[in-house]
Amino acid sequence: MSVDSISSRSAKALTWGVAGAVGKVVAQLFVQITLARILDPVAFGQYAAVLAVFGLGYILADSGFGAALIQKKELHSTDIGMALGWSVLFASVMALLMILSSTMLAQLFGDVSLGPIFRACALLIPFQIVSNLSSSLLRRDLHLKGIQIIQLVAYFVCFGGVATVLAINGFGVWSLVAGFAAQTIFSLLATYSLARHTLRPRLIGDRALIHFGIKSMATELTSWSMDNLDRFLVGKFWGMYSLGLYSVAFNLSKAPSGLLISTAQNIAFASTSRLHGNLGAVRKGFLVVLAAVALTTLPIFTLAACESEVVLNIVYGFKWIKAAPYMTALAIAIPFISMGAITAAILRGTGSVGTELQILMISGAILFSGFLMLSHMSLMLAVWSVPFAYLVRFLLLLTAIRSRLNLSAAEVLSIFRGAIVLSVAGLSVALLMHTSSDLRTSAMGVLPLLAGGAVIALLFISRFSWFLGEALADMVRTKFSTGRFGPVLNWLQRGGH
């Protein structure tokens, strides 16, 4: 496939990815708000604990075969059969191990009632693995339209619908588990219907798949530790109630960007893998994507961190206000998580899986050590280990990809120029309004939040091209200046010089 063809399909995939991600963000917020107003923090804590262990079992079962199928230049049915055979074998083993160790796992979290939940979720691992293979084939072809529609229906209708009905009828954490099961089964059937592939498993085939899969799995395991070890430690040292507050705060912080970044990450990895060897195209794409991610995360989450109590009270209600100190730290971590995810995907797409793994191991050790050393203190202090670890991870990834793509220091700094100015401006206005008790407490305390957001929006509009930066502004101008948004774009750009 030519560079132009890949770039065109990547752009189209990104359009569908953004549209789907926006839809899923709205659906996720609606479902989470509904469930948070029905269920208590303990139920969310139990569900977070089970998902953390389930995620580990899923990664070990997948063994990196999904990523290996995306990365392979020439794909044959025997490759898919081999990935299917080994994945189903590993999935069966992991499901059995999770069932047998369910009591021990529940004791590790200090909640024996988790045992039956672990056993129920273990049965879903094989279904998730087969669904992932179908999804990987769709991602390989940058078929984001189908994936986005499936994921939206699976989450909103299957998970949200089933979980809400059962939660209303008093099923507690089991309502979340049943919703997850419905989501998994629907995703399996729907993705396979779009990406029909062989169902004949094989254990013999191209060893290159295994080699790349092992490296990818090691990276995913380390990434899992970054995403889930904190939940394990919070549950173990501070209990299910605190874990519920922590996980809900994290989910709310991550919801606006998590799905969008996940979409962009998948596209970045798939397109970079197909452009492997054309570092000029990868270099240009990296500058554009990272600038866009910085602009859409740094200003918003800096302001959200400052106004965490207001955000939680409006979205989830007063009973979740105790999660505000956690949300402050976690909201600060989101830009580093997002930018790190994109950088890691592009670095992996260039073949530097080993470098990414080393960086993840370092940052994972920092996160684990931080929670462990502060386990005897308040969770409000320990939670700051999260933004620090992800900041270190992002800086190390940025250093690695700068060397890989031959980027100058000036090019790297230009990526963050606009995002930093907008963040400082919005935060300054919000803090200034906090100095007046009348402004701070009136209208449910939302005035500082609204004022900070308004300043960010007005500044961005007034100097549109400057805030976008050269690389991102060129891309926007090329893709959209002649379309239906052309007149608006031309008007915005007049104020950007």
pLDDT tens-place string over residues 129-175: 888 888 878 877 766 677 878 888 999 999 999 999 999 999 999 99
Q: Give yes or no for a contact between 479 and 11, defined as CB atoms under 8 angstroms apart.
A: yes
Residue 369 is predicted with a pLDDT of 92
Chain-centroid distance of CA 259 in Å reads: 6
pLDDT given at position 4:
47
Burial class (CB in 10 A: 0-12, 13-18, 19+), 25: middle
Q: How far is CA 18 from the centre of its chain?
A: 14
Residue 385, both tokens: 């280990």
Joined together, the tokens standing for residue 492 give 């915005």
Closest CA to 202 of 104, 307, 102, 82: 82
- Give the model's pLDDT for residue 6: 46
CA-based nearest residue to 82, from 202, 199, 212: 202
pTM exceeding the 0.75 threshold for the entire prediction? no
Q: How far apart are CA 131 and CA 65, in angstroms?
A: 12
Amino acid code (one letter) for 70: I
In the chain, which stretches have pLDDT less than 50? Answer: 1-7, 10, 496-497
Q: CA nearest 134: which of 73, 69, 82?
A: 69
